[in-house]
Structure 1
């Protein structure tokens, strides 16, 4: 018998609320399979099974408040293997379906994996394999899009894809059965046809369509309600006894009418008809999230932009002189972005408000410098984060940016790659932008926009000369950053870039 307890939940977090049990007593579980979700006032934490077995007893019910180390459930060993024959007996026995007892091996079910903190569902984007195709272990079968990243689901075994249970475009939750694979080489001489969308696992129905009322409010729901000035009792709850979960709160925010934008045209109740030269394409989850977060930033922050320009002569000369030796020594190309990251870190150290965030009525100052670098991909804009930039060399920064950019373009970014940035840099200059006003990436308080370098006449020592100039734009949250601080920050960035030797020498 194995005890499942509340894990360490992060610095300063001492308790949590049991949000949702994904397994019931008597269910078989696999090692590392998520069995329960805990909600804190900061994050949602998924608790996996430490080993394969049967969930024999649930100690802490949904809605209960538990402390670190508290007993959640008990897991008995050896049950998972014993349940396998029963699963085989329930396999389809139609003439079109392969027999589970085929000599080539057993049928293995493919389910939606855990996709990261607070991600409960996704949209099945595209199948890379079709029924009847041979697959290798760890070969990608299907891609699932969430509101944060695209997740590739690999094959757990070598075999043949015998059945696709969920069609493209369907919404799936963690643990939903999406396909079946027969182990071995000749497992599926006659694959099962792809079913109609109705065959996908139904979404769980709400246990209560009414608001959560007097039901206990979890810390996560309380925080979301406080940050968005909403009454938590008005959030319809789907949890036990009508309790609102974190997912309920986020869904309520998306559906909540925007009083601040009452002048905006109301969305049509039914989609309008498309014309003969129009095409209607459903927005991806990533694009929907980008749209929602950018609009939230405009609605919640007192956003203002200040501008300056920078003479790129010295950086361009330094880069031209040393780029070949730099690449030979470090294995990465010397670009402009590493200089900008270093300049930003220097400015953030002098003006800490730009590196802070608002949490309710408090300001959280961050004494670390994790810089988000906006990357444009075919699916939309993502902002992977380069960690501890104050401790990295130019080569370390260039290498990290190169690796993250490749992962972004290949759709390989993880949740960890996208979370926790303290400041963002967006380079519109690569697309030819001369000037723009970038939008904040909440909860950050500042974002720096880079633009194209162009030859312009400037006055130096009483003479007009032609210099490579770039406009810089700092958008900031005026609730926390004063105008003087914003201008000072941008001036420090300009000074560091125009005198890179002083910046790198720390003088």
Structure 2
């Protein structure tokens, strides 16, 4: 019995993915729930398990191909020892699987959604594109061919043409297609700059008290809670404390409305081998230091392993980005839309400071708050950063809610 392997539901607002890797070849025997392939979306990677035990037959969607939700990926012959279907006969037919998921009740000649989006982004008219799909349907590859082929048209305004490269230099270059995650990161960051009235304010914090408190209790903390006491829980608590006083930093714009959040879903930016992701700790304002540290450790590990789900990166109301772990001394973080604020942490560095008329060496950190000036005024932004500074320089204020 032949079983179809199709693209699973990819998550909210995600309509297509790229086939990243096939773990099996046609003719390979597979067990129930054994991973067949990995799909890469613009947010996370999704593994596709085998729905039954049997033998992998025809692979319909090859690596690198774009597929939509419910598109046919492969066929599977049920039952152990079943013969494999022909491996490569249908390989050069990308039009069929790409068209299959788009059956939304429209005409057969309706262009693929990915093609429509690409034409809109590049100001390409459908009349200038020759469709290779069923009944002349325009596919994504057709649009890419139309964009790359005719050079007589006006050049795209988005970027200047690439300068000619000498032959000896060209042989030493490597051209790699951007992953979907990297494309999404680039688009979202640029959209953030184009949409929000972004401004950054700076301050510095003396980390003496936090470091002393951490050194004093880190062993007991680990012994009781089974997780290391880091700086992120202090910064998370300090930001939660400041957000209560300056709620507009924890708000977002929705049309002509301002939506104030009576909760804090804290996004913690994390660097991974494939790019920057921001897992969200839901209701962080209801958590203890230990719960925050455990959540950060667990989310960070899942992010590095590429195991974060869609829901784990949605719903954030404020974000913390720690460039200090990479040695950054100062930076201006970019907002994570639709959020209105992001705190940038940086490297702790010993610097001479004037304290009570005396020059002393203190472990100092620069703080940066980028905010959306459309709803956060300068006074609110500065007040927020000062409250974070005060809470970190005297952590007892967090206990007293001062």
Matched residue of 2:73: which SS? strand
Per the alignment, do residues 291 and 455 of structure 1 end up closer, same or farther by CA in structure 2, a change over 3 Å counting? Answer: same
Give the equivalent residue in structure 1 for 2:187. 292
Matches of 2:164 and 2:300 in 1, distance apart?
38
Tell whether the 8 Å contact from 2:55 to 2:82 is kept in structure 1 after alignment.
yes
Equivalent position SS for 2:170: coil
Give the aligned partner of residue 80 of structure 1: none
Q: Distance in 2 between matches of 1:176 and 1:193?
A: 18
Aligned match of 2:266 in 367, 371, 375? 371
Is 1:412 paired with 2:297?
no
Where do 1:29-48 residues align within 5 Å? none
Q: 1:156 to 1:240 in 2, by over 3 A?
A: same
Assess if the C-alpha contact under 8 Å between 1:166 and 1:195 holds in 2.
no
CA contact (8 A) 2:20 2:40 kept: yes
Instruction: In structure 1, list runs of 5 or more residues that go unmatched.
Output: 1-105, 208-237, 258-263
Among 455, 468, 475, the residue aligned to 2:350: 455
3-state SS of 1:156 partner? coil
Out of 52, 66, 71, which is 1:171 matched to? 66
Contact 1:166 1:200 in 2 (8 A): no
- How do residues 111-130 of structure 1 correspond to structure 2 at under 5 angstroms? 111-130=6-25
By how many angstroms is 1:241 displaced? Answer: 12
The farther-off stretch of 443-452 and 324-333 is 324-333
Match of 2:341 in 1: 446
Q: How does 1:236-315 map to 2 (within 5 A)?
A: 254-255=121-122, 266-267=158-159, 275-315=170-210
Call closer, same or farther: CA 1:325–1:378 in 2, change over 3 Å: same
Cα offset, 1:240, TM superposition: 7.5
Determine which structure has the larger helix proportion and give its number: 2
Matched, 1:388 2:283: yes
- 1:344-403 deviations in Å (ceiling 9; x for gaps): 011111001101111112111111100111011111101110000110001111111111
Structure 1 Cα separation of the partners of residues 111 and 58 of structure 2? 36
The alignment's TM-score, normalised by the length of structure 1, stands at: 0.67
Q: Which runs of 5+ in 2 are unaligned?
A: 125-155
Change (3 A) 1:491 1:377: same
What is residue 84 of structure 1 aligned with on the other side? none
Q: Distance in 2 between matches of 1:187 and 1:245?
A: 36
Distance apart, 1:269 and its partner CA: 8.6
* 1:240–1:195 CA distance, 2 compared to 1 (3 A): closer
How large is the RMSD of aligned CA atoms in angstroms?
Answer: 3.0
- Structure 2 Cα separation of the partners of residues 371 and 119 of structure 1: 23
Q: Give the Cα separation in 1 of the matches to 2:274 and 2:119.
A: 26
Query: Within 2, Cα distance between the matches of 1:270 and 1:185?
Result: 54
CA, structure 1 residues 245+305, in 2 after alignment: closer, same or farther (shift >3 Å)? farther
Aligned to 1:403: 298
By relative contact order (CA 8 Å, sep 6+), the higher-ranking structure is: 2
CA distance in 2, matches of 1:474, 1:246: 38
What is the SS of the residue equivalent to 1:465? strand
The answer as to 2:46 corresponding to 1:151 is yes
Q: Distance in 1 between matches of 2:21 and 2:122?
A: 27
The answer to whether 1:502 aligns with 2:397 is yes
